[in-house]
Structure 1
Amino acid sequence: MVMTCTTGRHDKHDVYAAQCPCRGVLDLLATKWTALAIGALEEGPQRFGALQRRLEGVSPKVLTQTLRRLEEAGFVDRTVYPAVPAHVEYELTELGRGVAEPLRALRGWVERHLDEIPPPRPV
Structure 2
Amino acid sequence: MHDVSPEMQRCIDACLACYRTCLGMASRHCLEAGGPHVEPEHFRLMLSCAEACRASAELMLIGSAVHRHQCGACAEICAACARSCEEVGDMDACVAACRACEEACRKMAA
- Fold agreement, TM-score > 0.5: no
Rg (Cα) greater in structure: 1
Structure number with higher relative contact order (C-alpha < 8 Å, ≥ 6 residues apart): 2
Judging by fraction of residues, say which structure has more helix.
2
Judging by fraction of residues, say which structure has more strand.
1
TM-score by length of 1: 0.28
TM-score by length of 2: 0.31
